[in-house]
Structure 1
Amino acid sequence: MEFAYYPKLNFSWNQLEGPIPSFLSKSSSLDLSYNKLSGFISFLCGIKASNLTLLDLTSNHVSGELPDCWTHLENLVFLGLCGNGFFGTIPTTLGNLYSLETLKFKHNRFVGELPSSLMNCKHLKVIDAAENQLSGLIPGWLGFELPKLVILILRSNRFYGRIPLQLCNLTHVQILDLSINNIFGTIPKCLSNLTALVDKGHSILTITHHYPCDFGNGIFSESYDDAATLIWKGIMSEYKSTLGLVKSFHLSSNQLMGEIPKEIIHLGGLVSLNLSRNHLTGQINPDIGKLELLQSLDLSRNQIDGRIPTSLFQIYGLGDLDLSNNNLSGNIPMGSQLQNFDPSAFAENPLLCGLPLQRMCDQEKEKGSVQQTGLGNQDHEGGLVTRGFYISMGLGFAFGFWGVSGTLMFHESGRST
């Protein structure tokens, strides 16, 4: 089958099965996502030139190694390979996709490092490589060579080493997720350079990309809205229509140590902050309330000590909080929404007390004991015994006085007569 022009084809969300027909590569936009297609994608190698700008194979059964033949797809803007059975290393010729803005290949079995050739894709705004078996150091060139990145998700891989300081150059990044890896060292202090996360201004609801598309009868402007999956409140959720609002910084389940840098409070645009399951020490910054847009805060399973800052009262929209399994101490600040959270949010902090925990603080025990004792003494001594005692003494004195005086006066009157 041949096309007279380069059509825009969308066969997503069907029950299509079998291999992908090679003639579909002649389209300008090809969306085959959420089907049951299988086989390989080597059909892309059989064409010498391509006007393909969008290729979405998300959630199919396509498998095998990616072919190393991407040099003729220089017009490709969107490449979605998520949720398939791809394995092996990422081919270096992906670096020839000079127009590429979105690269998604999460939930496959890719191994090895991110190829350095990707630094040639200067227009990249989204990289989602989550849930693979990638390894090596997190490349510093991500921060230097790809300055337009808005979303960088490397979650659930085998990356190790320190967080490169170069990532602080990502002034447009709104979602930075390096969780569930083997990263060690400390959290960089240059976080305040992440301008998009600092900005408290209202973001647009969607993250939309516009690109030119040649249908054979002229060049037209096309667009697509990005989507991303995030672990939110312990649940994997996909965001699309509100993706632009979800500013998040996730480093959970690594080997990070040291204190949480004070510079993190400058990320006033954050909606979600997850630093759980590390080896972080020190105290929670007393000015954490400056992150007033936070809806989710997870610092659980670390070695954080000290008291819970009262500035948390300032975060009115905080709906998800987990400070459990730390070394926090003192009383949970009263008179705030903190008492409305489930006790599990504060569990396994042996020196922490107060509502919503069942463990009462010592000063509250002493206060209650003193009040009870004081009331008891007042009732038994001051209220009854002491008052009755003095009334009895007063009456006794009066009767005694007048009895003696009356007798004396009677005798004096008898003598006078």
Structure 2
Amino acid sequence: MVLSNLDLSNNLLSSELPDCWMYFDKLSILSLENNNLTGKLSASIGALKKLQALHLRNNNFSGELPMSLQNCTSLVLLDVAYNSFTGYLPQRIGNNLTNLGILSLRSNSFSGILDLSHNHFSGKIPRCIYNLTAMTSTADLLPDILYQYDFSVLVTYFDSEFVMWKGKDQIFRNYLGQVKFIHMSNDMLEGGIPEGISSLIGLVSLDLSSNKLNGSITPKIGLLTALELLDLSSNNLSGAIPATFANLNFLGMLNLSYNHLSGRIPTGTLLQGFDASAYMGNPGLCGAPLAICPGDEPPSNNTWNGNDDVAQQDVNDHNDDIFPGLYISVVLGFIIGFWGVCGTLVIKRSWRHAFFRTLDYMRDRVYVMIHRR
């Protein structure tokens, strides 16, 4: 077959997929999302060596992803979210799929070393996370998806993808290659946040919430200056909030709640602009927008004593002495200044003539300048 783009999404298709993908070796885009398809994904899917975009989102697929999927080395986008897939990811999927820019495994039942939100993976976040090279730059590094049209012409395919953004599944079309998210929430990840994550300076959103992460928050997160969303809530993180958070100038959503953080929230930064709910559940935290830290209490209004009253009376008496003298000085200054100039012009005829000659000269100069224009 010469078919290169097959889109059967958003229908009422059901039952299992036939095991016949070896006959579609020219296929570049396969979209089957939003149907009622069931069963396992057949091993013949690995025959699609030219496949660049695979959309299986929101069906009822089950079983493990076939090992042959690692043979689809041209894949740029792989979306199997909202299914019932189980088991481990193919071990070589990270090594073989070198063009992969978008991977969505959300809301399945995968298990093993690593997961991307709402699965059952456990273990630590790999220290080699810095190898996600597409996220080490703010530039669009997503390879173009091309498919053959009319047997000879290659056409660019502009894909779209649903991404969980601020609690909602939102679709992104334009600038998809600049949408650089890591969402690993609602799993059983443990250990610390690897410092290598600081290399992913293109990250726009980082969600590691609802896991079992512990240790302190690495100050190197402050290097992720493109971050707009950071959610580390509901973990076991401890220590202080790094002062480097002041570098996250684009941060519009922050959630550090329900950890074991302590100390003062860094001041003089945008951190005071977030609601107190972003920090709740950390009894050791203090400072705006939470309660003030010990030792920062301002003087209370009811702590005045007798000495304070005497001091206040001295201030009032001092003011009473100053103001009459000030009024007299202003009046005398006006009288002396006014009559020092005007009185001299009245008494001294030569000065008076010189003054009016100067006025006439200035008037003539202004008149000539205006008429020259």
TM-score, length of structure 1 as denominator length? 0.72
Change (3 A) 1:372 1:93: same
The residue number in structure 1 matching 2:366 is none
Matched, 1:278 2:211: yes
8 Å contact 2:121–2:187 — kept in the other structure? yes
Change (3 A) 1:320 1:377: farther
The residue number in structure 2 matching 1:103 is 54
The residue number in structure 2 matching 1:232 is 165
Change (3 A) 1:377 1:125: farther
8 Å contact 1:90–1:114 — kept in the other structure? yes
Alignment counterpart, residue 285 of structure 2, candidates 339, 352, 366: 352
Alignment counterpart, residue 362 of structure 1, candidates 294, 302, 306: 294
Alignment counterpart, residue 309 of structure 1, candidates 234, 237, 242: 242
Q: Residue 308 of structure 2 aligns to a residue in which SS?
A: helix
Structure 2 stretches lacking a partner, 5+ long: 318-373
Q: How many equivalent pairs are there?
A: 316
Matched, 1:380 2:318: no
Change (3 A) 1:115 1:350: same
8 Å contact 1:80–1:105 — kept in the other structure? yes
Q: Residue 304 of structure 1 aligns to a residue in which SS?
A: strand
Structure 1 position 113, deviation (Å): 0.7
Residues of 1 paired with 2:271 and 2:252: CA distance?
A: 10
Using the aligned pairs only, state the percent identity: 41
Change (3 A) 1:149 1:284: same
1:361 maps to amino acid:
C
Residues of 2 paired with 1:128 and 1:314: CA distance?
A: 33
Q: Residue 300 of structure 1 aligns to a residue in which SS?
A: coil
TM-score, length of structure 2 as denominator length? 0.80
Structure 1 position 239, deviation (Å): 0.5
Residues of 2 paired with 1:334 and 1:378: CA distance?
A: 35
The residue number in structure 2 matching 1:261 is 194
Structure 1 position 287, deviation (Å): 2.7
Alignment counterpart, residue 140 of structure 2, candidates 203, 215, 221: 203
> What do residues 111-156 of structure 1 show as CA deviations (whole Å, max 9, x unaligned)?
1111011122221111101111111112221112222211111111
User: Structure 1 residues 314-323 or 139-148, which shifts more?
Assistant: 139-148
Q: Residue 256 of structure 1 aligns to a residue in which SS?
A: strand
2:292 maps to amino acid:
M
Matched, 1:191 2:129: yes
1:134 maps to amino acid:
F
The residue number in structure 1 matching 2:148 is 212
Q: Residue 211 of structure 1 aligns to a residue in which SS?
A: strand
Residues of 2 paired with 1:229 and 1:207: CA distance?
A: 18
Residues of 2 paired with 1:377 and 1:62: CA distance?
A: 87
Structure 1 position 322, deviation (Å): 0.8
Residues of 2 paired with 1:94 and 1:269: CA distance?
A: 32
Matched, 1:323 2:256: yes
Change (3 A) 1:157 1:383: same
1:78-227 mapped onto 2 (5 Å cutoff): 78-163=29-114, 178-200=116-138, 202-203=139-140, 208-213=144-149, 215=150, 219-227=152-160
Structure 1 position 372, deviation (Å): 5.4
8 Å contact 2:75–2:99 — kept in the other structure? yes
Structure 1 position 219, deviation (Å): 1.1
2:41 maps to amino acid:
I
Change (3 A) 1:381 1:298: same
> What do residues 83-129 of structure 1 show as CA deviations (whole Å, max 9, x unaligned)?
11011100111111121111110111111111011122221111101
Q: Residue 287 of structure 1 aligns to a residue in which SS?
A: helix
Residues of 1 paired with 2:104 and 2:143: CA distance?
A: 15
> What do residues 212-248 of structure 1 show as CA deviations (whole Å, max 9, x unaligned)?
33x2xx5112121121111111111111112111111
Deviation above 3 Å: which 4+ runs of structure 1? Answer: 371-378, 380-385
Residues of 1 paired with 2:206 and 2:248: CA distance?
A: 13
Change (3 A) 1:376 1:333: farther
RMSD: 2.2
1:62-77 mapped onto 2 (5 Å cutoff): 62-77=13-28
